[in-house]
Amino acid sequence: MKIGLEVHVQLPTKSKLFCPCPTTDAPAPNTHVCPVCLGLPGARPMMNGKAIEYGILLAKMLGCTVRDTTWFARKIYFYPDNAKNFQITQYDRPLGEGGVYYLNGKKPIRITRIHIEEDPGKIKRVGDLSSLVDYNRSGIPLAEIVTEPDLSTPAEAREFLGQLIRDIRHTVDLPDDGERSIRCDCNLSVGTERCEVKNVTGLRNVERALTYEMVRQTKLLKAGGKVVRETRRFDEERGVTISVRKKEMEADYGYIDEPDLGIFNVKELADSLKIKESPHNMIIRLTKEYGIDDKTAKQFVSTSVDLAKLFEDLAAATDAETARTWTSGAISAGWRAFEARGVTDASEVVNIVRKFVDGEITDTECGLRIKAFLAGTDIDSVSAGSADLDAMISRYLDENPSVIDDYRKNDKAANRVIGHVMKQTGGAHSSADIVSATKRLIVERL
Amino acid sequence: MDRETVEKVARSAHLKLTEEELEIFSRDLGDILGYFAMLDEAPDCEGFGIDPIGVADVLRDDEPYMELEPDALLQGMDTYDNYVRGPRLL
Amino acid sequence: MSHSSVLSSLSKINEKYRMFRTVTSETDAGDAKFLFSAKDNLTSKDMETCSGSRILEGYRPPFDATSIAKMREAGGLLVGKTNMDEFGFGTFSTNSAFGVPRNPYDLERSCGGSSGGAACAAAVMEGHVAIGVSTGGSICCPASFCGVYGVVPTYGRVSRYGLLDYGNSLDKIGIISSNASDLGKYVEIMAGADPRDPTSCVQPAIGARRKLKSVAVPGDATEGVSEDVKKAFKDGLEALKSMGVDVEKVEMPSLRYAIPAYYVIATSEASTNLARYCGMRYGHQDGDLSLKFDDYFTSFRSQYFGEETKRRILLGTFTRMVGFRDRYYSKARRVRQSIIEEYRSVLSGCDAVLTPTMPFVSPKFTDISKMTPVESYKADILTGPPNIAGMPHASMPCGYDRDGMPIGMQFVANHWDEGVLFSAAEEWEKNFDAVRPEVSI
């Protein structure tokens, strides 16, 4: 089975792709519109430079080649939401081509191309008769990412999309607004002919649509039938794909280059733009560079890229194992409180751990100092708080000695202690603190 | 140009031709394309240009603003509840 | 004649010549510095804009074209929108949905096209400035047929914001007037970078007026040209020589491909530009909304587009289809590049390339109706080359045939070198005895 995706993601510009209309939510239909995005005769597009920048960042993130020049094209199709009855997109010379993106750092998924295009308006259907069109979305900038059919299962496609979207968000600082800004055209073939399911919104629906399509095509082929190349749509409520029309021959689009925008020399810009390392690539690099396991690296990065960076600073100042121990323990435990304070400079943590490594402070004192620094309190109150916590855990262990025996067989036994303490303290201590203290005290009694 | 091709092109262009028009256009388009055939012998050229002058890197800042009142833009349009009316989809 | 008395006579003049699609209802010119008209494919807030097409009947644009806005800012009063071939599709203005403008020298003949109404207004009304638009010859052709001056600046010189597109990579806004000095004066008012048209944002400033010293005449410039035109052109050349202009012969073999290449690019682009006219948003919107969208759009387009418009949409849709795109659209654009290169190389050695403007004088309407599409397309044989190359060019009257019909010659300068055309026109005017048409209303 082969699956290829065409992923549409909105670029986070403040104004539209070809006109200055705002991209924010509009108060009413057709209020964020102008002659350009309404396709009024005589109006013409003006390129938003920021959209090109975002597009290049994504092209680089996907390992695509960005050539010297790029330009736009008209894709002609008639539809009520398509203000000019052509869409300005890219054809002969997309922003980026020929990339490779690694799923879980292992499986290469080839990226055919990435290009920029404008979104059409939105249609509200009225009864069975006319359509009502809102052009507020007309001209919203999108990046379209096209993959080769390198994905093998619907679940893998979903996993790929999840990773891709996290990386895109990180690269262009896209706010996390659920799945609203992600739309997909999904191509799937079980045998030799493929079908395209257009316009599926959200990860879960992509997997559902692909799974339905996989089963449908498999059944069809088993029964001796033939898959017809066609476009289908996904009915979210019923979870089925429905044929909408025979795959349009490309001839119908009749692409021509867009003369109103000219060309864009993007090579220099592409070379000057540095992309932030994607969370995914960071995980892979951490495991390779510091020899930590995948799970730990994932935990650091998904908690915060800044936490992972602190781990690297620590490793540089001490060693990878020391850095891993403290980052997994006290630092992770206090991280949420640290972020909540709105502080960004955590370099003091490195000094504290250095003191421990140099033998100036004890293990326990190091933990307390880290905790105090992250929480922004003094060491005595932290010390008192954690003494209270230790005392409560110890009391429970005294009263329930079986926990230790059970723990020898299965470390899940610690959960009994943790659950009890949490209930008793009611949020006074972070769960990470309770977990680490419990484990420490149990291990002392083994 | 044969009538089938003219009809196919007309469909793509969203034009419905009368019998008479079909006849006229298949004759005319045949003549015109016959004339255009001289392009085949035109010497080829390496150059590329979308426009006759070099238009490059004309960019706009990403600053949102609205110049015209949306209401004024919708004035001549057939609207309902601020939506623009369009035909049936299916 | 005062500005106000011109305003009060507009309707009467128009009844006779039909150069306007719309005239202003204003009767008092106030302190207007000059009166001007604009071709009906330029948007104007206070007047309907139809581009000669029924599909846009009743359309009131919410904004002024930059060219019109700049003329108003300079003190101009817009007196009307001039009649034209539908969307610019024609050489004789006979493809307008709103009547056909009449040649001021002979009412049975054409004003030329597609800016026929503009040239007619310039010829009939003393001191009138007409904004025209040229895609493949639509300013120089009517200027020549109506015995007036017409200039088409370099592609991108005047902002196309507010121009209803025919071919975006070809359309150029210019001036038609019976006064040679108006060419430079009003192009300079309209020119300049406009952020609403990116193609206007790369222009250098218009250079100072530069005296015309030398022209090159292509060897086949008068091939297939009528005897009367040949004679007037020859006289024109002699007059130029006597003014001290060097005349040399050159070979420009690529120009013969300009017309087919021009029509391929122009119709390919036009067929996409006209996709938006479909019975929604502007123009007629009174269709049966319960029709499926394909049928709904088709019904409007079939009903309201004229015959030549349909022909060019079909042609342009075909030439960009997969399987034909490379042979027509892509090849035509490479041919355009070789034409530009040829002009540049010739113009590195002289100031302008000179030819007659049109191969014949304005034909009678009865003869036009007998012409096949290819025959009428071939009438652009001399105006097509500078237009496809985006070169600035101007038509100037250079003689009259035995019936008194005007004949023009066309000067083509290098990109951005309008200055030499402006001064050439001003110099020429001093040396040429123009015969004004007799205007009686």
CATH of the domain at B8: 1.10.20
Note the pLDDT of residue B28: 97
Task: For A165-180, write each residue's pLDDT tens digit.
Answer: 988 988 888 776 655 5
Note the pLDDT of residue A379: 80
For residue C61, the distance in angstroms to the closest alpha carbon of chain B comes to 8
Chains linked to A by 3 or more Cβ pairs within 8 Å: B, C
Angstrom distance (rounded) from CA C201 to CA C190: 14
Helices vs. strands in chain C: H and E counts, helices first? 14, 13
Structure token digits, residue A385 = 């708080």
Residue C260 covered by a domain: no
Residue C328 covered by a domain: no
Phi-psi group of C33: left, alpha or beta (phi > 0 → left; psi -120 to 50 → alpha; rest → beta) = alpha
Asked if pLDDT for residue C87 goes beyond 80, the answer is: yes
Question: With contacts defined as CB-CB under 8 Å, which chain A residues touch B82?
Answer: 28-31, 134
Structure token digits, residue A386 = 């954690």
Note the pLDDT of residue A343: 80
Task: For C271-288, write each residue's pLDDT tens digit.
Answer: 999 999 999 999 999 999
Which CATH number is C31's domain given?
3.90.1300.10
Residue C298 covered by a domain: no
Q: Once rounded to an integer, what is the mean pLDDT over residues C321-349?
A: 96
CA distances from A295 to A37, A106, A328, A436, C17 (A): 47, 15, 11, 17, 85
What is the Cα gyration radius of chain C? 20
For the purposes of burial, counting CB atoms within 10 Å of the CB of A9, is it exposed (0-12), middle (13-18) or buried (19 or more)? buried
Note the pLDDT of residue A375: 87
Decide: C152 and C393 in contact? Cβ < 8 Å: yes
Question: In the beta sheet, which residues pair with residue C411?
Answer: C354, C394
Residue C102's pLDDT band (cuts 50, 70, 90)? very high
Torsion of CA C377, C379, C385, C386, to 10 degrees: -120
Question: What single DSSP character describes residue C328?
Answer: I
Mutate to test the interface with C, among B1, B4, B9 (most CBs of C within 10 A): B9
Q: Is C336's Cβ below 8 Å from some Cβ in B?
A: yes
Q: Once rounded to an integer, what is the mean pLDDT over residues A332-355?
A: 89
Residue C17 covered by a domain: yes
| Domain count of the fold of chain B | 1
Chain A nearest-CA residue for B53: A262
Residue B26 covered by a domain: yes
Note the pLDDT of residue B37: 96
Residue A209's pLDDT band (cuts 50, 70, 90)? very high
Residue C306 covered by a domain: no
Q: Once rounded to an integer, what is the mean pLDDT over residues A222-248?
A: 86
Mutate to test the interface with B, among C43, C314, C326, C416 (most CBs of B within 10 A): C314
| Domain count of the fold of chain C | 1
Note the pLDDT of residue A128: 62
Catalytic positions of C, written as ranges: 39, 114, 138
Task: For C160-182, write each residue's pLDDT tens digit.
Answer: 999 999 999 999 999 999 999 99
Structure token digits, residue A112 = 């055919």
Angstrom distance (rounded) from CA C235 to CA C259: 27
Q: Is C349's Cβ below 8 Å from some Cβ in A?
A: no
Mutate to test the interface with A, among C197, C274, C328 (most CBs of A within 10 A): C197
Residue B31 covered by a domain: yes
Q: Which range is least confidently modeled, A137-146, A373-382, C329-338?
A: A373-382
Count of pairs with CB atoms under 8 A, one residue in A, one in C: 107
Residue B35 covered by a domain: yes
Torsion of CA C353, C359, C365, C367, to 10 degrees: -160
Angstrom distance (rounded) from CA A73 to CA A78: 16
Angstrom distance (rounded) from CA A146 to CA A149: 9
Q: Which amino acid, one-letter code, is at A340?
A: A
Residue C1's pLDDT band (cuts 50, 70, 90)? confident
Angstrom distance (rounded) from CA C393 to CA C378: 19
Task: For A394-407, write each residue's pLDDT tens digit.
Answer: 888 888 888 888 88
| Closest by Cβ to A131, choosing from B14, B62, B88 | B88
Note the pLDDT of residue A356: 92
Q: Is A307's Cβ below 8 Å from some Cβ in C?
A: no
Using the beta-carbon criterion (under 8 Å), do B82 and A28 form an inter-chain contact? yes
Q: Hey, which residues 166-185 in chain A have their CB within 8 Å of chain B?
A: none
Question: What single DSSP character describes residue A136?
Answer: G
Note the pLDDT of residue A181: 61
Q: Which residues span the domain enclosing B24?
A: 3-41
Asked if pLDDT for residue A114 goes beyond 60, the answer is: yes
Angstrom distance (rounded) from CA B62 to CA A23: 11
- Does the structure's ipTM exceed the value 0.85? yes
The overall average pLDDT reported for chain C is: 97
Residue burial A117-133, b: 16+ Cβ < 10 Å; e: rest: bbbbbebeebeeebbbb
Q: Once rounded to an integer, what is the mean pLDDT over residues B15-40?
A: 97
Count of pairs with CB atoms under 8 A, one residue in B, one in C: 186
Residue A381's pLDDT band (cuts 50, 70, 90)? confident
Q: Hey, which residues 285-314 in chain C have their CB within 8 Å of chain B?
A: 285, 287, 289-299, 301-302, 305, 307, 310-311, 313-314
Mutate to test the interface with A, among C59, C87, C196, C295 (most CBs of A within 10 A): C196
Contacts with B37 (C-beta within 8 Å, 6 or more apart), sequence order: none
Q: Is C156's Cβ below 8 Å from some Cβ in B?
A: yes
Note the pLDDT of residue C179: 98
For residue A231, the distance in angstroms to the closest alpha carbon of chain C comes to 18
Note the pLDDT of residue A75: 97
| Closest by Cβ to A38, choosing from B62, B65, B73 | B73
pTM assigned to the model: 0.88
Question: In the beta sheet, which residues pair with residue C106?
Answer: C103
Chain B nearest-CA residue for C288: B87
Note the pLDDT of residue A245: 67
Q: Once rounded to an integer, what is the mean pLDDT over residues C101-126?
A: 97
3-state secondary structure at position B89: coil
Q: With pLDDT > 90 as the criterion, what percentage of chain A qualifies?
A: 63
Note the pLDDT of residue C373: 97
Asked if pLDDT for residue A250 goes beyond 60, the answer is: no
Residue C272 covered by a domain: no
Question: CA C367, C369, C375 angle in degrees (round to 5)?
Answer: 80
Asked if pLDDT for residue A106 goes beyond 50, the answer is: yes
Task: Name the nearest CA neighbour of A18 among A94, A116, A105.
Answer: A116
Half-sphere exposure at residue C288, Cβ-oriented, CA atoms within 13 angstroms? 7
Residue C413 covered by a domain: yes
Residue A249's pLDDT band (cuts 50, 70, 90)? very low
Task: For C34-50, write each residue's pLDDT tens digit.
Answer: 999 999 999 999 999 99
Q: Which residues span the domain enclosing C351?
A: 3-255+334-431
Instruction: Tell the residue number behind the tokens 């009413």, with chain if given.
Output: A28
Q: Hey, which residues 227-266 in chain A have their CB within 8 Å of chain C?
A: 249-251, 254-256, 258-262
Residue B13 covered by a domain: yes
Note the pLDDT of residue A247: 45
Residue A305's pLDDT band (cuts 50, 70, 90)? confident
Note the pLDDT of residue A21: 98
Chains linked to B by 3 or more Cβ pairs within 8 Å: A, C
Contacts with A417 (C-beta within 8 Å, 6 or more apart), sequence order: A393, A396, A397, A400, A403, A438, A442
Q: Once rounded to an integer, what is the mean pLDDT over residues C192-207?
A: 97
Residue C308 covered by a domain: no
For residue A83, the distance in angstroms to the closest alpha carbon of chain B comes to 11
